[in-house]
Amino acid sequence: MRDTNLASSIRENLGSESAGQWINVMDLIRSSLPFLLQAGRPTNEQIASSDIGLAGFSGWRDMVETLPKNGGLGWSYDSYKAWKKAYSLVLKHPYLRDLSLSSSEINTIQRENKEFPATLEAFENTKEKRKDALDGRRLNAVAGLQKQLLGAKNEAAALQTNLENSRVSGDQFKSLVLQLRQELAQANEKTGALQVQVERQTSIAKQRKEKIESLEKNLEDYNSLKFTHERFGKYVKNLWNSSRWQLFIAFCKGSLPKPQEVAKIVNRKS
């Protein structure tokens, strides 16, 4: 790889695209490497006999993308293709040489119009219309942004209102919870008091039941004693009214009560 005068001249003008110097670069390429601007791929013979081959490169792209220290241009091949496209319009419309336009501006006009302006006046009119259209789009974009901003502000205000309402609702909810807790504590207190009363009434009822059972038992004993007393009384009355002969016969038959039975009756009576 070795540097060439062509590569050196091209590198000197690569950084001046905005000032229209890129056209000088393309003029150099056209004068030194005309086959690059022709249709189709260059042949190996064209490459080998040109500054590309003399610099030791096998192709134009290789030379474009190789660093300057190695004899290349240190450039972008995509940028070259954009310059080449705009340069074809410069060759077709020479008035473009004097407008100090960038390749991007020329390619944009070409892309946005079915036919490229044939004269300088038509080009200026096209640029003016494009400027008005851009201004209109900018105004629309600004209006859209302002509308979005207003919507965002309204949403923020609504959110703030909802937040404040939620805070109020939250305070009300806390107050309600506190009130319910107080009522629950009071209910628990009343329940405890009622529980004590229930236990007390249960104890009283138990005592009354035991007293009733005791009274029922005493009544039963009393009735039994009363029956025995009445029966003994009748038996004694019968004995008292009997004659000695009747008592003797009863004694012989064993129908008189035995002493132990009389003692039981007497004990129960007492």
Which comes out higher in pLDDT, residue 115 or 198? Answer: 115
Q: Is 60 exceeded by the pLDDT of residue 203? A: yes
The residues, ordered by sequence, that sit 6+ positions from 58 with a Cβ below 8 Å of its Cβ are 47
Please, are residues 242 and 250 in contact by the beta-carbon 8 Å criterion? yes
Range of the domain at 57: 5-116
For 151-248, list the strands marked E by DSSP: none
Split into its structural domains, the chain has a count of 2
Domain membership of residue 111 (yes or no) is: yes
Domain membership of residue 110 (yes or no) is: yes
Q: Is 60 exceeded by the pLDDT of residue 54? A: yes
* Mean pLDDT, the chain, whole residue set: 82
Structure token digits, residue 77: 């091949």
Looking at this protein, which amino acid is placed at residue 265?
Answer: I
Domain membership of residue 162 (yes or no) is: no
Please, are residues 145 and 152 in contact by the beta-carbon 8 Å criterion? no
CA distance 71 to 121: 43
Q: How confident is the model at residue 16 (pLDDT cuts 50, 70, 90)?
A: low
Which comes out higher in pLDDT, residue 171 or 232? Answer: 171
The residues, ordered by sequence, that sit 6+ positions from 75 with a Cβ below 8 Å of its Cβ are 10, 14, 64, 65
Domain endpoint, select from 116, 138, 161: 116
Domain membership of residue 85 (yes or no) is: yes
Domain membership of residue 264 (yes or no) is: yes
Domain endpoint, select from 52, 87, 116: 116
Domain membership of residue 200 (yes or no) is: no
Q: What is the pTM of this model?
A: 0.51
Instruction: Quickly list DSSP for 134-155.
Output: HHHHHHHHHHHHHHHHHHHHHH
Q: How confident is the model at residue 249 (pLDDT cuts 50, 70, 90)?
A: confident
Q: Is 70 exceeded by the pLDDT of residue 234? A: yes
Looking at this protein, which amino acid is placed at residue 245?
Answer: W
| C-alpha dihedral sign at 203, 205, 210, 211 | positive
Domain endpoint, select from 82, 116, 150: 116
Domain membership of residue 72 (yes or no) is: yes
The residues, ordered by sequence, that sit 6+ positions from 227 with a Cβ below 8 Å of its Cβ are none
Residue with tokens 């064993």: 254
Structure token digits, residue 181: 């807790």
